[in-house]
Amino acid sequence: MTAGSVSRAVRAAIFAVVCVTTAALGHALMSAQPLPWWALVAALGTTGSVAWRSAGRERGGLVVTGATVVAQLGLHSLFGLAQSRPSMPGMNGMAGMADMPAGSAVPVGRMAALHGDTSQLPLMPSGHGALGMFLAHTLAAVVCGLWLWRGEAAAFRLARSVAAVLFAPLLLVLTTLDRTDLKPSARPVAAAGHVVRLSGAFLHHVLSRRGPPRLSLCC
């Protein structure tokens, strides 16, 4: 079943919003870093455009779920690149320390005490790891893909039911009228003033034997 422009746009928008929202929330929670706004806008535009090109007709569960998984992995890569870029380029944290007076400098021992013991830092996990983020994106993509597929199937089933209820009576009327027009016309009836003459029609096969009757043998 093909889809109209409005239905196609709505389905593409829902697909883009669900994919981008799920990927952004999962990526932000797993990385513990905010996402820049331009990455979200670019993700919405790209995902919506691709979904628009693929939403011309009803798709099956395998296609919808596979497209959702591919979209989630692509969004994962995009958000990873967006977070790796510096948010404030050109900032140098040590630029103003050269002008500090010597009396206001923090002693080395106190600074070491503020930082604490750093011998265990390499053993601490950085975030939740790339593998955990990949598995989270994949699981979310499968769940969202199944949900989107069931929603799309329900929407098309509802559209077919509404079309059957609205257009079935009209189609029946049009079919009846078409059959009525195809019936042969009746023979023309003679006018009331016209009289059909039947002269000789009834006596056409009558045998005429003129002459006197035959005499009876008893006479």
Q: Say how far apart CA 40 and CA 79 lie, in whole Å.
A: 8
Residue 208 belongs to some domain of the structure: no
Residue 154 belongs to some domain of the structure: yes
Predicted model pTM: 0.49
Half-sphere exposure of 88 (CA within 13 A, CB side): 3
Does residue 72 carry a pLDDT above 50?
yes
Half-sphere exposure of 81 (CA within 13 A, CB side): 10
Range of the domain at 158: 5-85+129-174
Residue 74 belongs to some domain of the structure: yes
Residue 102 belongs to some domain of the structure: no
Write phi, then psi, for 195 (nearest 5 degrees).
Answer: -110, 125
Does residue 4 carry a pLDDT above 70?
no
Q: Is 124 left (phi over 0), alpha (psi -120 to 50) or beta?
A: beta
Number of domains in the chain: 1
Residue 216 belongs to some domain of the structure: no
Does residue 137 carry a pLDDT above 60?
yes
How is residue 103 written in tokens?
Answer: 């009396």
Average pLDDT, the chain: 68
Residue 111 belongs to some domain of the structure: no
Residue 200 belongs to some domain of the structure: no
pLDDT digits (tens, 9 = 90+) for 95-135: 444 444 444 444 444 444 444 444 443 333 444 456 776 77
Q: Say how far apart CA 78 and CA 100 lie, in whole Å.
A: 41
pLDDT digits (tens, 9 = 90+) for 145-196: 787 877 777 777 777 777 777 777 777 777 777 666 555 555 555 555 555 5
CB 74 within 8 A of CB 42: no
Residue 145 belongs to some domain of the structure: yes
Does residue 21 carry a pLDDT above 70?
yes
